Structure 1
Amino acid sequence: MVKHFKPEVIPNPEQRWLSDEEQAAWRTLIAVTVRLPAALDRQLQRDAGISHFDYQVLAGLSEAPDSTLRMSALAMLTESSLSRLSQVVARLEKNEWVRRTPDPTDGRYTLATLTTDGWDKVVATAPGHVEAVRTHVFDALTKAQISQLTTIGQRIMSAISQ
């Protein structure tokens, strides 16, 4: 059993404790951030044999000009470290879905390019993934809530970036 302390019991009276409403919202947000990626990962593993992160990499490249991005840009796009991304791209290379080459404009950088087989993987995988996203997120929300979700997410991301 977890012991919950009331603010008056804690030595620092200036601490800004969460209200009951904030605590409920916080716990819900934590549950979403844990359960949603896991649900999407299960669907992608079951239907396509890839992880959610693999799909993010492939989809990110599929939307890039010439299906190519610098690895550093792809890491930012996928909210990943360069070392994690490098390991995943190495695995995707073995499946011949991605190819890495030196950047011809600056050899200090490496480019990741989606191959034809990689494109085919994205095209085959996207419908099931979109359906899972609809089922787990958008079907449960009204249009107004979708707009609110965007605003809330942007505000949280902005606060994180400060």
Structure 2
Amino acid sequence: MKTPADAEEPRWLTDEEQRTWQAYIQASMLLEDHLDRQLQRDAGMPHVYYGLLVKLSWAPHRRMRMTELAEAAKITRSRLSHAIARMEKDGWVRREDCTSDKRGQNAVLTDKGFKVLQETAPGHVAAVRMALFDRLAPEQIAQFADVCRIIADGLQPEGADLPWLR
């Protein structure tokens, strides 16, 4: 079955769009690498683990269903399970059976994990500030936020709630 997109010529990127796309790819890869190296050096954890700890710290009672945490972090359940297992060994999180669904599990941020997050946050915020916000004028920060919200809203599955984007 042909779709309208199959019948049309591809909408190739203009030269300006291509430059913008390549700049975005380069910046996002460099930023992720920068933040990952900072967190590995300062806390012995990859950026994705830090993000999981943050999401758990924001959750009611510092706990989230594993499936919801995987969706919020935009990682596979398999990758989440591996990350949680590693953080369990470090005592940062624990798993609990879900009381409302016997098949489900919750990830719970422990006091030790919360303390690690509190100790790690200042260095991470400094790295984010140096790599991103200190390079932008206030009006550019507002524009960047608007652009990121538009992109996230357009790509987010219908009905998903992203309170931190408001």
Q: Which band: TM-score by shorter chain? A: 0.7 to 0.9
Q: How do 1:74-93 residues align onto structure 2 when only pairs under 5 Å count?
A: 74-93=69-88
Deviation of 1:14 (Å): 3.1
Give structure 2 stretches of 5+ with no counterpart: 1-6, 158-166
Deviation of 1:29 (Å): 0.7
CA distance in 2, matches of 1:120, 1:66: 15
Q: Find out whether 1:45 has 2:50 as its counterpart.
A: no
SS of the residue corresponding to residue 158 of structure 1 reads helix
Structural RMSD (CA): 1.6
SS of the residue corresponding to residue 28 of structure 2 reads helix
Query: In structure 2, what residue type is equivalent to 1:31?
Result: Q
Q: How do 1:1-150 residues align onto structure 2 when only pairs under 5 Å count?
A: 14-150=9-145
Deviation of 1:40 (Å): 0.1
Query: In structure 2, what residue type is equivalent to 1:60?
Result: K
Deviation of 1:13 (Å): 8.9
Larger Rg belongs to = 1
149, 158, 161: which is aligned to 2:153?
Answer: 158
CA-to-aligned-CA distance 1:73-100 (integer Å, 9 cap, x gap): 1112211111100100000000011000
Structure-2 residue corresponding to 1:5 = none
Give structure 1 stretches of 5+ with no counterpart: 1-11
TM-score by length of 1: 0.87
Structure-2 residue corresponding to 1:6 = none
CA-to-aligned-CA distance 1:51-108 (integer Å, 9 cap, x gap): 1011011111111111101011111221111110010000000001100011012112
Q: CA 1:60–1:161 in structure 2 vs 1: closer, same or farther (change >3 Å)?
A: closer
Number of residue equivalences: 151
CA distance in 2, matches of 1:13, 1:84: 38
CA distance in 1, matches of 2:139, 2:126: 20
CA distance in 2, matches of 1:136, 1:51: 17
